[in-house]
A and B are shown apart, each in its own frame.
Chain A
Amino acid sequence: MRKFYPEVRLRRLLKESGGSRREDMIDRAAERLEEIRAKCLTAIDAKVERVSGLALSTSDEGIELCYDLSNEIFAEAGTFDLTELSAAAHSLCSLLSAGNAPAGAIRVHVDAMRALRRPEIAGNKHMRAAVLAELRGLVDRIRERSKG
């Protein structure tokens, strides 16, 4: 085994004068994220529709693309505090990665994700929580049924 300590220029740069406080850097980063919120939400909606179109695909390629898009929705929705949508997308990723996902379970995920982006639901935290709770309950029931 060879052990060595590589030079890490980042360590030196971080300490150079002219920097900012952590809190200020974090605040500025949050402001920058707000600048792209609208654009990213539009993109998330487009991805939800694409997932809807792919949801009943039986090809490996289609399932992989559905997984990739759901993974993107999970990450990007979470960044912009669309917590329930992020959770629904993550749940769909888990379902798809486990393999042999029941078509019904995929459909309810897609329906939940579309519902969560409807204006009357997106703007109401109780309704969003209810959609997510319903999704989780349905997924549990479908899973139990498919075991039996």
Chain B
Amino acid sequence: MSAPDPDERLNLTKANVLAVDGSAHSLDVIGQILRGFGVSTLSRCSNIEEAEKLTRVKTFDLIIIDPSLERGEGYAFVNRLRHSMMKNANVPVVLTTGHVRGRDVARGRDTGANYMVAKPVSPKILLQRIEWVARDPRPFVDIGDYIGPDRRFKFAGPPDGSDGRRTSDLKSPLGDASEPNLSQDEVNAMIKPQRVTL
């Protein structure tokens, strides 16, 4: 992964952003951060009904939503948006999550959002996520229940500028092999099913 060029300039002044959160103060936090980034067209909603009305009439470039609002109805909202085939169906979506219950991790993954960012939100991390969604190379997949970015990161690896969640991840470029390749017999021996006594 390449580190971002520190002199590179980013322009969010024309981005039309929707922020959705059940807490007015969290909306204030997100709003201040986005204004600091230069976003001048920002819509804020504290309930799903308002968010759905807005997404029907305005075109957004980015939605930042805490899906836990209204007892987790935010997850269903994003899912419905993806299935809506309307103007904002494929808009980049970033989920912001505070304390998450176990089941919410899978729900977040399955909404069709592009990325999640854990609260408390910091300007640095939010800007990084905005860059990730803007540059997200993943195609969208539609498999009926799920419409959204391809959830398989296994071969794509972490986004540019990130070391990945696992600190043991190998860094690219990997370089030349330092040992001979394993033979097929050696590979087979590693994955051979074995009988065990429990």
Q: Show the binding face of A for B, using Cβ within 8 Å.
A: 1-11, 13-23, 25-33, 35-36, 39-40, 43-44, 64, 68, 70-72, 74-79, 86, 90, 93-94, 97
Contacts of A26 in B (CB 8 A): 36, 123-124, 127
- Considering the complex, give the chain A residue whose CB is closest to the CB of B59: A9
Cβ of B58 within 8 Å of any chain A Cβ, yes or no, is no
Is B25 within 8 A of A74, CB to CB?
no
Contacts of A16 in B (CB 8 A): 11, 14
Contacts of A75 in B (CB 8 A): 23, 26, 29, 98, 119-121
A48 to chain B, nearest CB (A): 13
Is A72 within 8 A of B23, CB to CB?
yes
- Considering the complex, give the chain A residue whose CB is closest to the CB of B15: A13
Interface residues on B, range: 35 or more
Q: Show the binding face of B for A, using Cβ within 8 Å.
A: 4, 6-15, 22-23, 25-26, 28-29, 32-38, 61-62, 68, 71, 90, 92, 98-99, 101, 119-124, 126-127, 130-131, 133-136, 139-143, 150
Question: Roughly how many angstroms separate A122 CA and B144 CA in the complex, as a whole number?
Answer: 52
Q: Given A16-B14, A36-B28, are A93 and B99 also a contact pair (CB < 8 Å)? A: yes
B96 to chain A, nearest CB (A): 8
Q: Given A8-B134, A10-B62, are A25 and B37 also a contact pair (CB < 8 Å)? A: yes
Is B140 within 8 A of A4, CB to CB?
yes
A5 to chain B, nearest CB (A): 5
Is B29 within 8 A of A79, CB to CB?
yes
Given A72-B98, A97-B101, 18 new contacts (CB under 8 A): A1-B141, A2-B141, A10-B92, A10-B130, A14-B11, A17-B9, A17-B11, A25-B123, A33-B29, A36-B29, A40-B28, A70-B99, A71-B68, A71-B98, A75-B29, A79-B119, A79-B120, A79-B122
